[in-house]
Structure 1
Amino acid sequence: MSRDLEVSVLEEDSSNVKVRIRGIPVEYANALRRFMMSEVPTLAIDSVAILDNTSPVYDEVLAHRLGLIPLKADPYKYSGDCGGSPCQVLMVLDAQAGDEPRTVLSGELVSEDEGVKPVSPDIPIAKLAPGQRIKLEAYARVGRGKEHAKWQPVSVSVLKPYPHVTVLDPKSECAHAAADACIPGVLKYSKGVLKVKDEYKCKLCMDCVKACPEAVKVEEHEDDHILYVESVGGVEPKRIIYMAVKELLAQLEELSREVEVLGQ
């Protein structure tokens, strides 16, 4: 590693976060990215008992749709081993159409735990014709993305290099061409001088370098990355990163113990 580890938030809202990570090689950063997809525990519907289904949706398709509804919950509350702490949550659905057709929505799922619910109440489950009914019991349990995609806490997990833009000759004859070729907001050409306005907005397209290689240089550093995380809604994006680090450290500690045993 070429420098001390530094982590800073570039952009953030309720479902997305962009983080700059400096000081670790791309292999380490990519391991963190992969752990967010495959090793972070989340809660999802895993088994369904169909009590009544006269809708046009087959039972197995209905169960599959329910499994893909993201749930807002604290996965660490449920151990998954059915020991001292609870290992699953019961959710009941009983929907029937009257004289008019209607759509059954995720908000109609009634959970035995008020802390466990769909991230949105407006996710369509099935359409019912007049008189049709769906009645079922769904059981949600903790799992990980490596087991099935329904347990992935992220819809997007992307790692890319942080752009480093340097002006070599601010008064070059073609400096204006470099600014014109670049996407808006990265370079600024004013009063005959080329300046870097915001290198973070650079997409690494290299158009500015092609337009005027003597005026500007764009580089990637092997230990400087942008990690973009988009949550499906069940867990806040920054907490997903924290949980991924926690799971990664736990597995590294387990590996260390196993190696020590081999060395004895």
Structure 2
Amino acid sequence: MSDIRSNVEEVRNRVILQEFSVKNVHTTNFPGNYPGYDDTWDMRTFQKSFRIDVAQMTDNLMEFDMVGIDAAIANAFRRILLAEVPTMAIEKVFIYNNTSIVQDEVLAQRLGLIPIKADPFLFEYKTIDKDSAEEDVSEIDTIQLSLKVKCTRNVKASKDSSDPQELYLNNKVYSRDIKWVPIGNQADVFADSSIGPVHDDILIALLRPGQELDIVMHCVKGIGKDHAKFSPVATASYRLLPEITLLDTVQGEKAERLKRCFSQGVIELEEVNGSKIAKVVNSRLDTCSREVLRHDDLKNVVKLGRVRDHFIFSVESTGILPPNVLVAEAIKVLMAKCQRLLNELDSTDIE
């Protein structure tokens, strides 16, 4: 009976990579699918098995494991990170002078995609009055930026020089040239904040003597669902935890070939009685390429799988907010969605 249960658990909890197919690919497990296995959802069981383990944390990158959830929840969490955590981005571009070769529309698009360092939770969403012809700005919902650059010749440049960097001044317009123009009491409220582009080396345009840019920009609060420029992450992805099992002892030349079939660090060779024996060291590093299944003498000694409820998340921030803050805010959004659903169910009369 224990063997039957063990086989059922393997089918239910593992995705198996075969030579020409993938086995057990379904993601949602309805109760009663597996005879002899009680898979009804239980809150206590979920609380025991669910956990989040942080594997890596830097200023802009966070890798963590989310264990004990279904793929639907993992994907909902990823989509919230991409599209429902708010940021500030350039929405309106007022071009007073643009004599560069970059068209106004292209220039506005480039400016809109520059990440702006500003805490979105200190601002409100801007309300748009469709009946008003003027742009109403307020210190509580708008950040104003300006870009004013003119290219001139460098009188100190060598006569024999052909390098534009030496011949011209301000020939390259970077994001560092964008300046914050406080509105109302913003200078006092955000005195300790350095509002402006996250990165100062983003190239905006190339200029030549006589060409100039004179632009005013308005940043507002928004979410990635409205426009990609509001998305707070460069990437937000997940993958299932790889699981590699050696079914037999692999040694000698076969062990060397087995090691080369996987990503570096997955398989290592261990010296035993003068012979090199293959050993799985870190399955997490594997990319599940199935290269090993191309070797007739190796494909039957290894089993490739993935743990169905173990998700490895990678969240890379654009720099507007730290990745750990983004993860926390995404969890809050998901909780709010669940609460709205519960409220709707409570308010609905079901006969």
State whether TM-score is above 0.5. Answer: yes
* Whole-angstrom CA distance in 1 between matches of 2:211 and 2:294: 64
Q: Return the match for 1:178 from 244, 255, 258.
A: 258
Tell me which residue corresponds to 1:225: 311
- Unpaired runs of 5+ residues, structure 1, are none
Larger radius of gyration: 2
Alignment of 1:202 with 2:286, yes or no, is: yes
Displacement of 1:261 in angstroms is: 1.8
Task: Report sequence identity in percent.
Answer: 30
- Unpaired runs of 5+ residues, structure 2, are 1-40, 128-136, 154-167, 183-189
Task: Check 1:71–1:84 CA distance in 2 against 1; reply closer, same or farther (3 A cut).
Answer: closer
- The answer to which of 165-174 and 12-21 deviates more is 165-174
* Whole-angstrom CA distance in 1 between matches of 2:287 and 2:266: 9
Letter of the 1:262 partner, please give it.
T
Displacement of 1:189 in angstroms is: 2.8
Aligned counterparts, 1:93-132, within 5 A: 93-99=147-153, 100=168, 102-111=171-180, 112=182, 114-132=193-211
- More strand as a share of residues: 1
* Whole-angstrom CA distance in 2 between matches of 1:84 and 1:54: 30
Tell me which residue corresponds to 1:240: 326
Conserved 8 A contact 1:175-1:189:
no
* Whole-angstrom CA distance in 2 between matches of 1:156 and 1:136: 30
Conserved 8 A contact 1:9-1:18:
yes
Task: Check 1:84–1:119 CA distance in 2 against 1; reply closer, same or farther (3 A cut).
Answer: closer
Tell me which residue corresponds to 2:21: none
Displacement of 1:34 in angstroms is: 0.8
Question: What secondary structure, in the 3-state scheme, does the structure 2 residue paired with 1:260 have?
Answer: helix
Tell me which residue corresponds to 2:123: 78
Question: What secondary structure, in the 3-state scheme, does the structure 2 residue paired with 1:263 have?
Answer: coil
Tell me which residue corresponds to 2:28: none
Alignment of 1:255 with 2:341, yes or no, is: yes
Task: Check 1:151–1:128 CA distance in 2 against 1; reply closer, same or farther (3 A cut).
Answer: same
Alignment of 1:88 with 2:88, yes or no, is: no
* Whole-angstrom CA distance in 1 between matches of 2:288 and 2:106: 43
* Whole-angstrom CA distance in 2 between matches of 1:182 and 1:127: 46
Tell me which residue corresponds to 2:95: 50
Task: Check 1:81–1:139 CA distance in 2 against 1; reply closer, same or farther (3 A cut).
Answer: closer
How many residue pairs align between the two structures?
Answer: 264
Aligned counterparts, 1:24-43, within 5 A: 24-43=69-88
